[in-house]
Amino acid sequence: MALKATIFKAELQVSDMERNYYHDHALTIARHPSETDERMMARLLAFALHADAALSFGRGLSTDDEPDLWHKDLTGAIDVWIDVGLPDEKSIRKACGRANQVFIYSYGGRSAELWWEQIGGKLQGQENLTVRQLPLATSLALAKLAKRSMRLQCTIQEGEIWFSDGAETVHVELERVTGPANSR
């Protein structure tokens, strides 16, 4: 018998002073049985960083041809493709060919560093690729905020990112791996 996804509900308040974006999002997140709280919260962080009315979650880990998050324009073309974790080189190349912008948010400490050492050189020609790494301590701190029902705030100002559940606050510092310095 196949295990079913666990459903999480998140009320996410995004205050992005850099983009003048201030909105509340009621999100339903299906967590795949093999997905960890750390990965799920990294997806939620990626959502907050790119929050938009047209941004949506993909179908999840079991679907290879969809990202974790994407933003499509009115014609159905993929404007922004966002993956979390350590995707393989072939998947990244395919995403770069299908979307205007591709963002990868890696996490996992040393394993994320080794992942990029192995594939980074092969992806240097991908002009539309931005990779950011979430430090291990940060991704673990975000995982502690995970609950079946969450009320979260994400504040983005002057390059600083704070993620909070009202009781605990996590200061998020994304490390630039590749891509423009001023993009998330």
Confidence at residue 62, expressed as pLDDT on a 0 to 100 scale: 55
Arithmetic mean of pLDDT, 78-87: 96
Task: Sheet containing 69-72: give its strands across.
Answer: 55-57, 69-72, 78-84, 99-107, 129-134, 175-178
Q: Is 112 left (phi over 0), alpha (psi -120 to 50) or beta?
A: alpha
Q: What's the average model confidence in pLDDT over 13-28?
A: 96
Q: Tell me the C-alpha distance between 156 and 170, whole Å.
A: 12
For the chain, give the percent of residues with pLDDT over 70. 95
With bands split at pLDDT 50, 70 and 90, how would you rate the model's confidence at 168? Answer: very high
Mean pLDDT of 49-76: 86
Per-residue pLDDT at 179: 80
Phi, then psi, of 126 in degrees rounded to 5: -85, 95
pLDDT-based confidence at 33, cuts 50/70/90?
Answer: confident
Tell me phi and psi for residue 95, to 5 degrees: -60, -45
User: How many Cβ atoms from other residues are within 10 Å of residue 164's Cβ?
Assistant: 16
SS (H, E, C) 62-91: CCCCCCCEEEECCCCCEEEEEEECCCCHHH
Domains of the chain: 6-136+149-178 (3.10.640.10)
**Is the pLDDT score of 77 beyond 90?**
yes
Residue 1's pLDDT band, with cuts at 50, 70 and 90, is low
Alpha-carbon gap, residue 128 to 130, rounded angstroms: 7
Q: Are the beta carbons of 84 and 42 closer than 8 angstroms?
A: yes
User: Average pLDDT of 76-95?
Assistant: 95
Using pLDDT thresholds of 50, 70 and 90, give the confidence band for residue 65.
confident
**Residue 34: what pLDDT?**
87
- Whether 159 and 107 have beta carbons less than 8 Å apart is answered as no
pTM above 0.85, yes or no: yes
What is the pLDDT confidence band of residue 42, given thresholds at 50, 70 and 90?
A: very high
Phi then psi for residue 64, to 5 deg, are -75, -30
The model's confidence at residue 131, banded by pLDDT at 50, 70 and 90, is: very high
**C-alpha dihedral, 158 to 165 to 10 to 4, nearest 10°:** 120
2: pLDDT strictly greater than 70: no
Percent of the chain predicted with pLDDT > 90 = 82
The DSSP output letter for 113 is H
